[in-house]
Amino acid sequence: MADPDRLGTVMTQVAGVTVVAWLLATADAPDLHGPRLETLLERLVDTPVRGFLYEEGGGAAAVRAAAERWHIPVEVVAEDSGEHEAWLAAMRTAVERLL
Q: Residue 90 CB: number of other CB atoms within 10 A?
A: 19
Residue 24 CA from chain centroid, whole number: 8
pLDDT in tens, 29-87: 888 999 999 999 999 999 999 999 999 988 999 999 999 999 999 999 999 999 999 99
In this prediction the pTM is: 0.93
d(CA 93, CA 48): 21
Is 90 exceeded by the pLDDT of residue 92? yes
